[in-house]
Amino acid sequence: MSDTVATRTPLAAAMTAAAAEVEAALDVLLPLPEGAEARLVEAMRYATLGGGKRLRAFLVMQGAALFSVDRRCAARVAASVEMLHAYSLVHDDLPAMDDDDLRRGKPSTHKAFDEATAILAGDALQTRAFEVLAEADTHSNPDARCELVAALAHASGPQGMVGGQMIDIMAPVLLAAGQALNAEQVGRLQALKTGRLIQYSAEAGAILGRAAPVQRQLLAAYGRDIGTAFQIADDLLDVEGSAAEIGKATGKDAAAGKATLVGVLGLERARAQADMLAAQAARHLESFGPAADRLRELASFVVSRRS
């Protein structure tokens, strides 16, 4: 999103504000490069600061605002999920994984540093994400902090992000063996790989706000739907976009035999599916009234974005 757009819509202004807030929180919460291990911390900061749309952080901040959660607490949780997300990108870009040299328009962490440093920086970002959640400044109620740790772990572990990444890596092997994933299997892959963490981000505000279970469930359903819509939009960009627009190499998914919903559904049906999910996501928010307007606008935004 360019600065000119950022001043044009309430959503863009809110996203820019949330991104600035989480950037400031990350700067404080990440360690400073000191001592013989400074290189590790430099790589952690390189991988995390100054980049990305901060979609997950925005979801945390907006969800928390629905329950009048202290913004400083929400920003810590937002920073934590961005650290977790950054760790996953650092490891995904490694030569043994997706082997990407470019991330957010600059060299990926293992190119800017080296493979060993990138592995360790990813490891340490994951560690710090959980540490931040467990610290007393995140919430006065330790039950809320434990819930956040457990929910983030569930969303990012074998039954979540990392499980999805494993299936993603195996898909080309299965394809070559004549066992291409079907639409349902690709849907599950994407739900695990990207969906669960986006769902967690949407739910985190309800955990912070000690909301009623039904409210948390509505936000979870919203998160699930925009997560899938977001992933389809991402895959459409890979097919249709240019490297200059999205800051990373494009057309790679098909070349690498990656399993995507665009691949199994085709362009037309995939775009229709994303639009349907965006509309459905907005409907989950009806009971929240105007306070959820930015989240409703986000549902449209994720399927219309060009980068």
Q: Is 117 in the site for a copy of itself (CB under 8 A)?
A: yes
Q: Is 85 in the site for a copy of itself (CB under 8 A)?
A: no
Amino acid letter, residue 193: K
Q: How many residues does the chain have?
A: 307
Q: Is 256 in the site for a copy of itself (CB under 8 A)?
A: no
Contacts of residue 177, defined as CB under 8 A and 6 or more positions apart, other chains included, come to none
Q: What is the H or E stretch that residue 107 is in?
A: strand 106-107
Token pair for 243: 């490297």
Selected binder of a copy of itself within 120, 220, 249, 264 (CB under 8 A): 120
Instruction: Report the nearest approach of a copy of itself to the CB of residue 2 (Å).
Output: 34
CA distance 179 to 173: 8
Q: Is 89 in the site for a copy of itself (CB under 8 A)?
A: no
CA distance 153 to 147: 10
Residue with Cβ nearer a copy of itself (42 or 240): 42
Hunting for tokens 């962490």 — which residue is that? 109
Q: Is 37 in the site for a copy of itself (CB under 8 A)?
A: yes
Q: Is 80 in the site for a copy of itself (CB under 8 A)?
A: no
Hunting for tokens 């870009």 — which residue is that? 93
CA distance 283 to 277: 10
Q: What is the H or E stretch that residue 102 is in?
A: strand 102-103
Per-residue contact string for residues 145-174; x = within reach of a copy of itself by CB under 8 A: xxx-xx--xx-xxxx--xxxxxx-xx----
CA distance 86 to 141: 27
Residue with Cβ nearer a copy of itself (169 or 183): 169
Selected binder of a copy of itself within 60, 69, 89, 192 (CB under 8 A): 192
Residue with Cβ nearer a copy of itself (150 or 176): 150
Closest CA to 15 of 50, 54, 52, 69: 54
Which residue ranges make up the site for a copy of itself (CB under 8 A)? 31, 35-37, 39-41, 44, 87, 91, 94, 96-97, 114-117, 119-120, 122-124, 126-128, 130-131, 133-136, 141-143, 145-147, 149-150, 153-154, 156-159, 162-167, 169-170, 181, 185, 188-189, 192
